Chain A
Amino acid sequence: MEDLKTSVKGQVLAIQDLPTLPGVLDEVTKLVENPETSTEEIANVIGKDQVLSAKVLKMVNSPIYGFPGRISSIQHGLVLLGFNVIRGIIISTSVFDMMVQAMQGLWEHSIGVATASNIVARRAGFDDPEEYAVAGLLHDLGKVVTAVQLPELHESILNTAKEKNLSYYKAEKHVLGFAHDRINAWLARHWHLPGNIREAMSRHHSPHMAELYKSTACVVHLGDFMVRLFEFGNSGDDQTAYLRPEAMKELGFKMSDLERCMDELADQLLDVSDMSF
Chain B
Amino acid sequence: MNHRIRWWTYLLLGLAVFACLFPLYWMFVVASTDSATARQMPPEILPGGNFFHLAGLVFATVPFLRSIVNSLIVAGTIGIGHAVLCSLAGFAFAKLRFPGRNVLFLIVVLTMTVPTQLGVIPQYMIISSLNWVDTLQALIVPGLASAFGIFWMRQHIGATISDEILQAARIDGATTWQIFWRIAFPLVRPAAFVLGLLGFVTAWNDFLWPFIVLKSPEMYTTQIAIKALQNSFDIDLGLAMSGSFLATLPLLVLFVFVGRRMVAGIMDGAFKG
Task: Tell me if chain B binds chain A.
Answer: no
Taking Cβ atoms with an 8 Å cutoff, the residues of B that contact A are none
